[in-house]
A and B are shown apart, each in its own frame.
Chain A
Amino acid sequence: MGMEKILGYGVILSLGITLLALAALIKRTLSFTTKREFSVPQGDWKKGVVYAFGKGMMPWEKESARKHIFTYCAGFLYHFGIFSALIILLLIIFALPVPPWAVILSKILIALGLVCGIGLFIKRILLDHMRQISCFDDYIANFLVDMFLVLSFLNMSFPGFRTILYINAIAMILYIPLGKIRHCFFFFYSRFLFGRFFGRRGVFHRKKAQMKV
């Protein structure tokens, strides 16, 4: 068995370990008290959740996104790039065919993601207030993910990068439950909670129609 194959299994194994660690993290999170809700809702929590994952993330709705449109777009592109690279990684490991158009699209997304990731990294290093709200974890996570994007891009363009890509992927995947990359996992739950909180209070879908003078 060649080194590449072994490392491919290593990536799958690291994914398994990470999933187990995330499951343990969920268990730990759920070990804290559970709150029952006694207040009578005014709005529909489901509408709030739809808002949280849709309109509520748009720059015309969210001031922070509007004011920092470059960072906002960079964040979006960065994450698109990461997910593209992850999908490609799995396709390669399982030796599944990747259509040529998907290769081109992925290359574009990964390249854009990389540029944005490096941009965000530089921003964190250069801006005083960003440095002050950061810890080692922020830099390590960004570095590991940026390297993953670099190597994914190189691997799609030139032969000979697969081994090092796999090694980097293993390190990155194993780092997910340890540091800030876990936010990707908790993001969905947090947005859900956000939507439910404001949804049941009727904040984002108000009774405007009844209020016309």
Chain B
Amino acid sequence: MAQTEEVKDKFEERLKNLSAEERQRILQSFKSKISSEYAAYLNTCAHCGLCADSCHYYLTSKETKSIPAYKLSLVTSVFKKAFDRVGQKLPNLVGAKDLSIPMIEEWVDSLFGRCTLCGRCTINCTMGINIPYLIRAARGALAEAGLVPPGLQSTVDTAVTKGNNMGIAKEDWLETVEWLEEELQQEVGDPEAKLPIDIKGARLLYTINPREAMFFPLSISAAGKVFYAAKADWTFSSENFDVTNYGLYNGDDEASGIMSGRLVQAMEELQCKELILAECGHGFNSNRWEAPEWLARKYGFPVSSILELLTRYIQRGQILLDPSKNQETVTLHDPCNLVRLGGIIEDQRFILRHAVKNFVEMYPNREKNFCCGGGGGQLAMTRFAQRRLEAGQIKADQIKKTGAKIVATPCHNCIDQLMELNKHYKLGIEIKTITEIVADALVLDTKG
């Protein structure tokens, strides 16, 4: 705890003592992240305020600072002062402001601490402004100056330096897979059942969220069981297995590229045909949509969510499910990065309708769903933990209304936040991944 406080103090100190040159560098970095599309967006906001009620932060706090238009205005005002002629000549007229130290403090507080980059404001914006991507650009400028809140930055640093965001050593990963494989063999009653590693030429390369290896090994077992039932030709990588990419959250494109590049490297080294991303919302958005842009290259292989793969297995009859094995009422939380920003919307519903007896939707859902509050790197930034829990009240209320006992969600960040909401709001629910639910419903072909 004392160490956390010390890190926090150092951060505050650095923030307060930024030199004019450093602030200038932040501006230049910000400029480099502004594309012509972003520049157009920055000229568009009419301050209509209709976005306010779309944001879970504003809805739960009613603080003006949490209105998306306000958060965007922090970015726009700096953009105008630095890069717009009217803003430079008539700053008071158009609200153009310098990137002063108080402004940087507000950037940190609002752009990191009041936004999960969920994109709900964008679909509710009259103009359609991509607010989370603009906020990410501003976060990225702060990242280059070392002004990312410490918890989030250390997650990125760990991933960049150690190969995965939990810093799991290769031998520990291999050991985990080994004991999970033994458990799988016992569970399916087949000593030949495998959790293959580094199989050259396997059709599928499957990635995981390192939190699964550390805290949720059942998620890995579940995936292994499904692959076993589907007789899939697949493999893990012993080196590059991390689907997460917190660079999406701190805005550091270079670090993001390093992390996602490792999966590309694994695909090429192992000569696999398809990259399968585990249930991880931001990991999906990063590796499916953003990574080719960070790496400035087209991939020579398809990148799919495991949900798309499960859908294929069900449609082809490659796995057989018995929904009566999941009797409890199940509802679904849609992770923003997978659904609203990722386009994986119906697969999870299709799967759940095959895998559980009683599936109920929460409202609103799909791309209109509310963020749980755990995205945008919030779980890594302890300084904003209280705000995160309060912002999660919308999700807690949504869940309560469904009356479901189980909340399925294909994202480990969401799972962590939902677990905290479960405790904080006394929801009395169980939280599972889709693959875990599928694994529970599997009818194994015992005849081989």
Please choose the segment from B16-24, B64-72, B190-198, B434-442 that sits at the chain A interface, where 4 or more of its residues have CB less than 8 A away: B64-72
Closest to A182 in B: B43
Structural contact, A133 and B350, CB atoms closer than 8 A: no
Q: Are B127 and A129 in contact (CB under 8 A)?
A: no
Given A35-B35, A128-B64, A197-B130, A40 and B47 touching (CB < 8 A)?
A: no
- B38 neighbours in A (Cβ, 8 Å): 32
Q: A43: CB under 8 A from chain B? A: yes
Q: How many angstroms from the CA of A201 to the CA of B123 in the assembled complex?
A: 14
Contact status of A37 and B341, CB under 8 A, knowing A179-B86, A183-B44: no
Chain B: minimal CB distance from A132 (Å): 4
Please give, as numbers and ranges, the residues of chain A lying within 8 Å of B311 by CB-CB distance.
211
CB distance from A66 to the nearest CB of B (A): 10
B128 to A194, Cβ gap below 8 A? yes
Measured in the bound complex, the distance between the Cα atoms of B85 and A190 in whole Å is 21
Tell whether A180 is near chain B: CB-to-CB under 8 Å.
Answer: yes
**What residues of chain A lie closer than 8 Å to B7, measured between beta carbons?**
none
- Taking CB as reference atom, which chain B residue is nearest A123? B49
In the bound complex, do residue A213 and residue B47 qualify as a contact, i.e. CB atoms below 8 Å apart? no
Given contacts A75-B48, A179-B93, contact A38 B350 (CB under 8 A): no
Q: Mark A177-190, 1 if CB is under 8 A from B, else 0.
A: 11110110011011
Give every chain B residue within 8 A of A190 (Cβ-Cβ).
Answer: 40-41, 44, 127-129
Contact indicator per residue, chain A 189-213, by CB within 8 Å of chain B (1) or not (0): 1110111011001111011101101
Given A179-B93, A203-B340: A29 and B39 interface contact (C-beta under 8 Å) = yes
Would you call B50 and A72 a contact (CB within 8 A)? yes
Within 8 A of B (CB), among A150-165: none
Chain A residues contacting B125 (CB-CB under 8 Å) are 64, 194
Which chain A residues lie closer than 8 Å to B293 at the CB level?
35-39
Contact A33:B34 (CB < 8 A) given known A40-B298, A63-B368, A64-B53: yes
Q: How far is the CA of A127 from the CA of B304 in the complex (A)?
A: 46
B179 touches A (CB below 8 Å): no
Is B347 engaged at the interface, CB distance under 8 Å to the other chain? yes
- Is the Cβ of B46 less than 8 Å from the Cβ of A183? yes
Docked CA distance A25–B36 (Å): 11
The answer for the CA separation of A47 and B45 in the assembled complex, in Å, is 24
Q: Is A180 a contact partner of B342 (Cβ separation < 8 A)?
A: no
Judged by a CB distance under 8 angstroms, whether A5 is at the interface is no
Identify the stretch in A6-14, A85-93, A106-114, A136-144 within 8 Å (CB) of chain B at 4 or more residues: A136-144
Once the chains bind, are B349 and A211 in contact (CB under 8 Å)?
yes
A63 to B340, CA, bound (A): 15
* CB <8 Å contact, A193 and B342: no
With A129-B52, A190-B41 as contacts: A38 and B297 at CB distance below 8 Å: yes
Q: How many residues of B are counted as interface, with CB atoms below 8 angstroms from the partner's CB atoms?
A: 73
Contact A137 B94 (CB under 8 A): yes
Tell me the bound Cα distance from A39 to B288 in angstroms: 7
Q: B242 within 8 Å of A by Cβ?
A: no
Tell me if A68 counts as interface (CB < 8 A to partner B).
yes
* Pick from B43, B123, B339: contact of A25, CB under 8 Å: B43
| Closest chain A residue to B288, Cβ basis | A39
Q: How far is the CB of A110 from chain B (nearest CB, A)?
A: 20
Known pairs A63-B368, A128-B64; A36 contacts B296 (CB<8 A): yes
For the complex, is B32 an interface residue (Cβ under 8 Å from A)?
Answer: yes
B39 A38 Cβ-Cβ under 8 A:
no
Is A46 interfacial (CB 8 A cutoff)? no
User: Closest CB-CB distance, B299 to chain A, in whole Å?
Assistant: 7
B128 touches A201 (CB 8 A): no
Q: State whether the Cβ of B386 lies closer than 8 Å to any Cβ in chain A.
A: no
* Known contacts A35-B35, A213-B350; A132 and B64 CB within 8 A of each other: yes
Contact B36 A179 (CB under 8 A): no
B367 within 8 A of A: yes
Are the C-beta atoms of A211 and B289 separated by less than 8 Å?
Answer: no
| Residue pair B47, A63 in contact (C-beta under 8 Å) | no
Q: Which of A38, A134, A206 sits near B298, CB closer than 8 Å?
A: A38
Q: Select one of A136, A194, A202 contacting B343, CB under 8 A.
A: A202
| Nearest CB in chain A: distance from B286 CB, A | 11
Q: Which chain B residues lie closer than 8 Å to A17 at the CB level?
A: none
* Contact partners of B288 in chain A: CB under 8 A: 39
Task: List chain A residues, Cβ under 8 A from B95.
Answer: 135-137
Enumerate chain B residues within 8 angstroms of A129, measured Cβ to Cβ.
49, 52, 64, 67
List 13 additional contacts besides A32-B36, A208-B346; criterion CB under 8 Å: A29-B40, A32-B38, A33-B32, A40-B302, A43-B343, A52-B128, A63-B364, A135-B47, A182-B43, A186-B40, A190-B41, A203-B339, A207-B346
Interface pairs (30), CB distance under 8 Å: A33-B36, A36-B296, A37-B293, A38-B299, A40-B299, A64-B50, A71-B48, A72-B50, A133-B49, A133-B69, A135-B93, A136-B93, A136-B95, A178-B86, A178-B90, A179-B93, A180-B46, A182-B43, A183-B45, A187-B127, A190-B40, A190-B41, A190-B127, A191-B127, A191-B128, A193-B130, A194-B125, A201-B289, A203-B345, A207-B346
Mark A residues whose CB is within 8 Å of B: 25, 28-40, 42-43, 52, 56-57, 62-65, 67-68, 71-72, 75, 124, 127-130, 132-138, 140, 177-180, 182-183, 186-187, 189-191, 193-195, 197-198, 201-204, 206-208, 210-211, 213
A-binding residues in B (CB < 8 A)? 31-32, 34-41, 43-54, 64, 67, 69-70, 73, 84-86, 90, 92-95, 122-130, 288-293, 295-299, 302, 311, 315, 339-343, 345-347, 349-350, 353-354, 364, 367-368
